[in-house]
Amino acid sequence: MTDGLSECGSVPIGLCTWGIYMQGFVTFSRNVFIPLTRVCRNSCAYCGFKCEVHEEGALLDEQSVVRLLERGAVSSCTEALFTFGEQPWKVEGFEDKLEEIGFDSFIDYLMHSSRKAIEIGLLPHTNAGVLSFSDLQRLKSVSASMGLMLETTANLNSHSDSPGKDPVERLRFIEAAGRLKIPFTTGILIGIGESISDRIDSLEAIARIHRRFGHIQEVIIQNFSPKPGTGMSRCQPPSTSTMLDVVSLARRILPADVAVQVAPNLIDPKFLVGHGASDLGGISTVTIDHINPEAPWPKIDELARAIGVPLRERLPIYPKYVMDSWYSDEIKPLIEMLSDREGFRKV
């Protein structure tokens, strides 16, 4: 994690024209990670998350979901991060599994689980993969924010068995979220076979959509991290200097009101912050990062010391969308209870 850092470590505060030094702090949210199902219609070559229908953890039952939510609430989290495989109902055997826990539609189960989260005091942020417009519309009412990684606009070998990774379909989905005024998180994945110009194309595509709809609150610049037993287990992750370049690129290409996010459990954020990263995403004190289980979360108080910049806690919905009331009536009382006068988390 230290390669390429020495020359960047001397970037003085004030020379960076974007990001943290414009606002004086770095943001994050406190979340509990709920892997509602690991079943997925796709098979990405780098995935260590997906599992088969018969495996343990393939589908969390309601009791397990509630237990996680309650642990999150007592640990002062504000975000219930629902993350799962894409369109699991397209996988044989999944619907029988769903029936065993009393549901005949996965979206109904997700709506039900999101309402449980709200009842317990957590704001749902849902990464649901590509959905129909009507499902997206339904989920808006119970979600503070939603997300879908664009990953890349290129057609890559690592996605050759993943119909849901069609960039056209993903861009269309991100636009649909904009039409519905859903505060939205997207991002690009670095090191999965894309070229530098693919990265530029991807960031420009996100910037264009945001200029039309104004709903992109953050763009994650996520480094690929190889997982044992996957098709890309022997591939090299991107170097820190590559990540520095991409974060700088993102900051230059994206509109100023879109935050650049990096994952502090996957890469040391200290120098990325100096290059324009202004958000560290959801950090959990309760659950592991189920997508990258090998990468533990840093302790929040140690993080602030390590990056040398104050941290400020936000909700899963960014402050400007709180201030502009981009949320449903169903979620409004909880947002009002959890946010301060500037739309950050009330302390």
Min CB(254)–ligand SF4 separation in Å: 23
Binding mask 297-316 for ligand SF4 (x = CB under 6 A): --------------------
Q: Tokens 């959801």 identify what position?
A: 282
Residue closer to ligand SF4 by CB (options 162, 287) is 162
Residue 143: C-alpha distances to residues 72, 101, 115, 149, 177 (Å): 17, 23, 9, 17, 12
3-state secondary structure at position 336: helix
Chain residues 49-78 in contact with ligand SF4, contact rule CB under 6 A: 49-50
Task: Write down the residue that tokens 């459990």 correspond to.
Answer: 265
Residue 258: phi and psi, rounded to 5, are: -100, 120
Alpha-carbon distance 16 to 13, whole Å? 7
Binding mask 163-192 for ligand SF4 (x = CB under 6 A): -x----------------------------
Query: What is the nearest approach in angstroms of ligand SF4 to the Cβ of residue 84?
Result: 8
Q: Which is nearer to ligand SF4, 84 or 326 (CB)?
A: 84
Least CB distance to ligand SF4 at residue 6 (A)? 33
CB of 159 to ligand SF4, least distance (A): 8
Size of the site for ligand SF4 (CB under 6 A): 11
**Which residues of the chain form beta strands (DSSP E)?**
26-34, 79-83, 123-127, 145-147, 184-190, 216-223, 259-261, 279-283, 311-313
CB of 291 to ligand SF4, least distance (A): 8
Shortest Å, Cβ 325 to ligand SF4: 32
Nearer to ligand SF4, 148 or 273 (CB): 148
Cβ distance 155 to 167 under 8 Å?
Answer: yes
Which lies closer to ligand SF4 via its Cβ, residue 162 or residue 261? 162
SS3 state at 317:
coil
Asked if 162 interacts with ligand SF4 (CB under 6 A), we say: yes
**Which residues face 147 on adjacent strands?**
127, 185
What track of x and - describes contact with ligand SF4 for positions 33 through 52 (by CB under 6 A)?
-------x-xxx--x-xx--
Assess 85 for contact with ligand SF4 (CB under 6 A).
yes
Vertex 273: Cα angle to 220 and 3 (nearest 5):
95
Residue whose CB is less far from ligand SF4, 227 or 346 = 227
What tokens were used for 137? 């519309």
Q: Two tokens at 221?
A: 């610049």
Residue with tokens 């979220």: 177
Distance CA 285, CA 307 (A): 19
List all residues 6 or more positions away from 137 whose beta carbon is below 8 Å from its beta carbon. Answer: 180
86 binds ligand SF4 (CB under 6 A): yes
Binding site for ligand SF4 (CB under 6 A): 40, 42-44, 47, 49-50, 85-86, 162, 164
